[in-house]
Amino acid sequence: MRDALRFIFNGELQEITELAPHTTVLRWLRESVRATGSKEGCAEGDCGACTLIVAELKDDQICYRAINSCIALLASLDGKALITVESLSDTPESAHPVQLAMAEHHGSQCGFCTPGFIMSMVAHVQSDQPPSPRDTLAGNLCRCTGYTPILEALDSVDVQAARAHTGFMQQQLEKKLKDLNQTDDLLFSGEEGTFFSPANAASLGEFLVEQPDAQLVAGGTDVGLWVTKQGKRFNTLVAMNRVEDLRHVRELGGWLEIGAAATYSEAQVALSAWHPSLNNLLRRIGSTQIRNSGTVVGNIANGSPIGDMPPALIALGATLEIAHGDDLREVRLQDYFIDYGRQDIKPGEYLRSVRIPPMSKGNIFGSYKISKRFEQDISAVAAAFWVDVSPEGNVVNMRACFGGMAAIPKRAATVENTLMGLPWNADSARLAAEQLAQDFNPLSDWRASAEYRLKVAKNLLIKFALESQGMDLNLYHDATACSETPS
């Protein structure tokens, strides 16, 4: 057991033994280190002005991820390298190619968001499989430029030259990260609380059995908000992000299993390959920065009625693996959500993984999200449909699940029953959609009125039926969309 937090900050090893566990990376940078290049624009991971890069070794390769430092806990950096805008260049003469491109294309006006954009762009050029430029930058808000010059700047960057610029730093970094090689548990305690960062599931399980009241934090994209927005403090925080044996995304007996520590980004390729409809959904979950931190299982664990992923996973028939120490139990995901703020989980337990069953021939699936803005918005309504159609074209089985329509992600039982046995087409969908008000009585709030929620939920079922019969009604195409429906 180690009691010092250790990470690399702009090339230098940092060892910290006294730290309030809730300290965010951004506050540490701006207030303790006085590195003020990273800005606070919102303190909730929505504007990207605080974006910086976290690097770590994965299969002996350095992997660079842009994250929102305003809601990331400093303690979550254990064993990793933190790279801020200050490390890219000391003088204008030595500017990084991305910085030069941004200036040459007039990509900054007021400049406040610019360092965050620069870091997203540097992570983009360092990545072997970056998302499209628009997807890369959707988590960085700019109020001045209208983005076009920034997109042009990113487009103009010579990736090889950009990588060469950081090449020297990179070689050193690789060695330093290897030297760190932290595979032990970290535990530090102080006046402001205890932070435990286990390196494996056994340690995690054991600790939680002993301290069932400890707060778990995985990506921190939710817990970080409690800190910055509600001023919440914790007696004990337990980090999931270093639990290496829960970080997997793998196929097992035809099922797809996503471990509790796997981020959205780590699961994105596998999920998109599982069904292309999920790719569109995943592109709309948070932003690149959020997906680089947030975990699929965390999005389930917090029990939110407006989580983006649960409706899709419930429609797919996913199950949850729940652990208490070494004991495991499995529940259907749809049964995990009991009521608002109440889930099927007991003290000392934690979610180990979510498992998605294979699709069979005749299965059709589609997932949808409705929000005011395409990128980086919270669902007004999320919907996902799985239908099993007989060779004759009739509905044999159906799962229609909605988010934002009730206190929990919930299936539309009446709608499903209405569809049973009917021919699978838009007319049947229209008929069944009329029953939706039997299943849901949604709220009005700032995201949508009850009237809209109900109307659009109905229409999504109709849209799914139309799309499943070959109509392309997608307004949100992505040049990098992948793979076909498995059958």
> Which residue(s) pair with 386 in the sheet?
365, 399
- Interface with other proteins includes 88 (CB under 8 A)? yes
Q: What angle do CA 344, 345, 351 make, to 5 degrees?
A: 110
477 burial (CB, 10 Å; 0-12 / 13-18 / 19+) is exposed
- Interface with other proteins includes 140 (CB under 8 A)? yes
Q: Which residue lies nearer to other proteins by CB, 226 or 374?
A: 374
**Of 447, 465, 463, 375, which Cα lies nearest the Cα of 404?**
447
- Phi, then psi, of 297 in degrees rounded to 5: -70, -35
How crowded is the C-beta side of 431, counted as CA atoms within 13 Å?
A: 13
- Interface with other proteins includes 168 (CB under 8 A)? no
Q: Contacts with other proteins in 468-487 (CB under 8 A)?
A: 471, 473, 475-476
What is the spatial distance between Cα 318 and Cα 308, in angstroms, rounded to a whole number? 15
What is the spatial distance between Cα 193 and Cα 360, in angstroms, rounded to a whole number? 49
What is the spatial distance between Cα 438 and Cα 46, in angstroms, rounded to a whole number? 36
- Interface with other proteins includes 156 (CB under 8 A)? no
3-class SS of residue 376: coil
Q: Which of 85, 258, 278, 285 binds other proteins (CB under 8 A)?
A: 85
- Interface with other proteins includes 36 (CB under 8 A)? yes
**CB 101 → other proteins: shortest distance, Å?**
9
**CB 96 → other proteins: shortest distance, Å?**
8
Let me know how many helices (H) and strands (E) the chain has, helices first.
19, 20
Q: Which residue lies nearer to other proteins by CB, 104 or 213?
A: 104
Q: Which residue lies nearer to other proteins by CB, 95 or 269?
A: 95
Q: Contacts with other proteins in 288-327 (CB under 8 A)?
A: none
**CB 400 → other proteins: shortest distance, Å?**
16
Q: Which residue lies nearer to other proteins by CB, 58 or 143?
A: 143
- Per-residue mark of binding to other proteins, 206-235 (x: CB under 8 A): ----------------------xx-x----
What is the spatial distance between Cα 461 and Cα 473, in angstroms, rounded to a whole number? 13
**CB 99 → other proteins: shortest distance, Å?**
4
Q: Contacts with other proteins in 91-130 (CB under 8 A)?
A: 92-93, 95, 98-100, 102-104, 106-115, 118
**CB 71 → other proteins: shortest distance, Å?**
11
